[in-house]
C-alpha cells in the first residue's frame, strides 16, 4: 500500500513524498537508508493512490511550458532534481502529467538517466526537447536548458495561438456556410423541386438544372456525405503515413501565392528557433541539423537540411557553403548564416531570424485572412444567390400568369 511521509534531512530541511511499502516498519527502514528522520507517516487511501496512464490523457504544449519553467526555476535556486520532481508531482493535478512525473521519479530512484523517460514518449515530447535535455544532463546545465526550452516553447505556443486566432473566423464562416448549403441542397431544394415537377409548370433552364441537382442530392445526399467523410479520413491518414503523398500536397500548397508565403515563413521560423536552441546546448552541427530536419514540419525544408548535413558538412564544407547550395533558403538567410559563421555566433543570428520571421508571419497571416474572407463570401454568396434565383424566378413567372 501507499504511505505518505514527512521527514527531516541532516540539515534540518523537511521533505515529503509517497512510497509503496507493506507496512510502516518498511517505510521507516527506507527512511533510515536515506538518512532521514521521520516526522509523520500516514497511509494513503486507495482513491489517492491511483494513477492514470500517460495515454489516459494528453500532455499539451502548455503542460510542457509549465514543466520546463518550474524545473528551470527550482534547479536554478539549487533544488535537487528528484526533489524538484516531487514538488511538481504535488503541484500537477492533471492525471497525465502526474503519471508521467511519477514514472520519471521511479526511474531516477533506480539510477536511470533523466532524459531516458522522455525518450519513451516521442509522440508527446519532440526530438528537440529530448535531445536538449540529454545535452543539458550530460553537461550539468539542465537549469539553462530548461530556461531556453521555456522561452522557445512559449514562442511556439504564441505562434500557434496566433495562427489559430487568425484563422478561427474564416473557419467558422466556412463551417456555417457549408452547413447552410447542406441544408439547402439536401433538404429544402429537393422539396421545392418536387413541388414544381408535380405542378406541371415548366421553369427556366437554369432553374431546372438547379432542381435536378437538388433532387439528386436529396436522393443520394447521405451516400455522398459519407463518401466525402471517407475521403477526408483517407486524406489525413495518407498525409501522415505517405511521404510521397505529403510531398505532393506540399508542392500543391506551395503553388498558392499567399498560402505559400505563410507556410514557408512558418517553416523558416521553426528552423531558426530549433537550430539555435540545439547549437546553444552544445550539440554538434550535423546532429543539430538532423534533429531540426525532423522538427520543421516541411518536407522540402527537411530534405534541404538533411542534404546540408550529409552532403555538405559531413564532406568538409563550411556551414555557409552548404547552405548556399540549397535554393530553398532566401539569399538573406544564407548570407547571414555565412557571415555569422565567420564571426562565431551562428546561434545569435538564428535567434534574431526567428524573431524576424515571427513578426513576418503575423503580417502574412493578416494578408491571408484579408484575402480568404471576401473570397469565401463571394463564392458562398454566388451559390446561395443562384439557388435563391432558381426558386424566385419560376415563382415570379408562375404568379404573373394569374
Together in a domain, 128 and 75:
yes
284-288-292 Cα angle (round to 5): 175
Residue (of 319, 309, 374) closest to 343 by Cα position: 319
Going by DSSP bridges, is the β-strand pair 14-20/37-43 parallel, antiparallel, or unpaired? unpaired
Look at residue 293 and tell me whether its pLDDT is greater than 80: yes
Rounded to whole angstroms, how far apart are CA atoms 290 and 306? 6
State pTM to two decimals: 0.66
pLDDT digits (tens, 9 = 90+) for 38-48: 766 766 644 33
Measured distance between the N- and C-terminal CA atoms of the chain, rounded to whole angstroms: 89
Q: Residue 86: which CATH number?
A: 1.20.81.30
Whether 179 maps to a domain, the answer reads yes
Backbone angles phi, psi at 60, to 5 degrees: -90, 175
Together in a domain, 12 and 118:
no
Whether 93 maps to a domain, the answer reads yes
Give residue 54's pLDDT band: very low, low, confident or very high (50, 70, 90).
very low
State the total domains in the chain: 3
Whether 159 maps to a domain, the answer reads no
Q: Residue 7: which CATH number?
A: 3.10.20
pLDDT digits (tens, 9 = 90+) for 15-35: 667 777 776 777 777 777 777
Q: List, in sequence order, every residue forming a beta bridge with 60; answer none if it has no partner.
A: none
Rounded to whole angstroms, how far apart are CA atoms 379 and 317? 52
Whether 45 maps to a domain, the answer reads yes
Together in a domain, 256 and 390:
yes
Q: Which of 87, 118, 153 is the last residue of a domain?
A: 153
| pLDDT of res. 78 | 84
Whether 158 maps to a domain, the answer reads no
Together in a domain, 108 and 237:
no
For range 261-290, the mean pLDDT: 87
Residues 6 or more apart whose Cβ sits within 8 Å of residue 294: 127, 302
Does residue 296 contact residue 266 with C-beta atoms inside 8 Å?
no
- Percentage of the chain exceeding pLDDT 90: 4
Whether 160 maps to a domain, the answer reads no
Give residue 231's pLDDT band: very low, low, confident or very high (50, 70, 90).
very high
Look at residue 56 and tell me whether its pLDDT is greater than 50: no
Residue (of 371, 339, 366) closest to 265 by Cα position: 366
Residues 6 or more apart whose Cβ sits within 8 Å of residue 234: none
Together in a domain, 191 and 309:
yes
Give residue 203's pLDDT band: very low, low, confident or very high (50, 70, 90).
confident
Look at residue 401 and tell me whether its pLDDT is greater than 70: no
For range 298-322, the mean pLDDT: 88
Q: What is the mean pLDDT of the chain?
A: 81
Question: Which segments of 296-345 does DSSP mark as H helices, in order?
Answer: 299-307, 319-324, 331-343
Q: 5-19, 171-185, 339-353, 362-376: which range is least confident on average? A: 5-19
Rounded to whole angstroms, how far apart are CA atoms 347 and 355? 13
Whether 282 maps to a domain, the answer reads yes
For range 89-105, the mean pLDDT: 85
pLDDT digits (tens, 9 = 90+) for 130-166: 888 988 888 888 888 898 888 888 888 888 887 788 7
| pLDDT of res. 48 | 38
Rounded to whole angstroms, how far apart are CA atoms 148 and 69? 9
| pLDDT of res. 308 | 92
Handedness of CA 150, 155, 156, 160 (dihedral sign): positive
Together in a domain, 149 and 255:
no
pLDDT digits (tens, 9 = 90+) for 58-74: 788 888 998 999 888 88
Give residue 295's pLDDT band: very low, low, confident or very high (50, 70, 90).
confident
Whether 128 maps to a domain, the answer reads yes
Together in a domain, 130 and 260:
no
Look at residue 234 and tell me whether its pLDDT is greater than 50: yes
Together in a domain, 354 and 244:
yes
For range 206-213, the mean pLDDT: 81
Together in a domain, 42 and 68:
no
Q: Which domain holds residue 109?
A: 54-153
Residue (of 72, 7, 6) closest to 35 by Cα position: 7
Q: Which of 49, 65, 83 is the last residue of a domain?
A: 49
Together in a domain, 198 and 308:
yes
Together in a domain, 9 and 116:
no
| pLDDT of res. 323 | 92
Together in a domain, 236 and 289:
yes
Q: Which of 91, 126, 153 is the last residue of a domain?
A: 153
Amino acid at each position: 500500500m501507499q504511505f505518505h511521509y514527512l521527514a527531516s534531512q541532516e540539515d534540518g530541511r523537511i521533505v515529503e513524498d509517497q512510497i509503496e511499502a507493506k507496512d510502516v516498519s518498511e517505510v521507516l527502514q527506507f527512511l533510515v537508508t536515506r538518512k532521514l528522520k521521520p516526522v509523520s507517516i500516514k497511509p494513503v487511501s486507495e482513491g489517492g493512490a491511483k494513477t492514470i496512464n500517460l495515454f489516459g490523457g494528453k500532455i499539451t504544449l502548455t503542460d510542457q511550458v509549465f514543466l520546463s519553467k518550474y524545473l528551470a526555476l527550482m534547479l536554478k535556486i539549487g533544488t535537487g532534481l528528484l526533489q524538484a520532481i516531487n514538488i511538481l508531482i504535488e503541484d500537477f493535478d492533471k492525471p497525465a502529467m502526474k503519471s508521467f512525473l511519477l514514472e520519471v521519479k521511479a526511474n531516477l530512484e533506480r539510477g536511470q538517466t533523466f532524459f531516458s523517460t522522455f525518450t519513451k514518449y516521442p509522440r508527446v515530447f519532440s526530438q528537440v526537447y529530448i535531445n536538449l535535455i540529454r545535452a543539458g544532463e550530460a553537461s550539468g546545465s539542465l537549469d539553462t536548458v530548461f530556461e531556453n526550452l521555456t522561452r522557445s516553447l512559449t514562442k511556439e505556443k504564441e505562434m500557434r495561438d496566433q495562427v489559430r486566432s487568425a484563422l478561427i473566423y474564416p473557419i467558422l464562416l466556412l463551417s456555417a456556410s457549408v452547413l447552410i448549403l447542406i441544408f439547402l441542397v439536401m433538404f429544402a431544394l429537393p422539396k421545392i423541386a418536387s413541388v414544381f415537377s408535380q405542378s406541371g409548370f415548366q421553369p427556366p433552364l437554369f432553374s431546372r438544372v438547379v432542381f435536378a441537382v437538388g433532387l439528386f442530392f436529396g436522393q443520394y445526399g447521405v451516400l455522398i456525405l459519407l463518401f466525402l467523410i471517407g475521403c477526408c479520413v483517407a486524406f489525413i491518414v495518407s498525409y501522415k503515413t505517405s511521404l510521397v503523398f505529403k510531398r505532393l500536397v506540399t508542392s500543391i500548397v506551395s503553388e498558392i501565392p499567399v498560402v505559400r508565403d505563410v507556410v514557408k515563413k512558418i517553416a523558416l521560423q521553426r528552423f531558426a528557433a530549433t537550430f539555435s536552441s540545439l547549437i546553444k546546448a552544445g550539440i554538434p552541427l550535423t546532429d543539430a541539423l538532423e534533429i531540426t530536419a525532423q522538427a520543421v514540419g516541411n518536407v522540402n525544408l527537411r530534405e534541404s537540411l538533411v542534404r546540408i548535413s550529409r552532403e555538405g558538412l559531413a564532406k568538409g564544407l563550411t556551414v555557409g557553403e552548404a547552405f548556399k547550395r540549397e535554393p530553398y533558403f532566401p539569399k538573406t538567410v544564407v548570407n547571414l548564416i555565412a557571415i555569422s559563421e565567420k564571426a562565431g555566433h551562428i546561434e545569435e543570428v538564428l535567434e534574431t531570424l526567428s524573431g524576424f520571421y515571427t513578426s513576418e508571419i503575423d503580417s502574412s497571416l493578416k494578408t491571408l485572412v484579408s484575402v480568404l474572407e471576401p473570397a469565401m463570401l463571394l463564392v458562398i454568396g454566388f451559390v446561395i444567390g443562384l439557388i435563391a434565383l432558381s426558386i424566385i424566378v419560376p415563382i415570379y413567372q408562375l404568379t404573373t400568369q394569374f
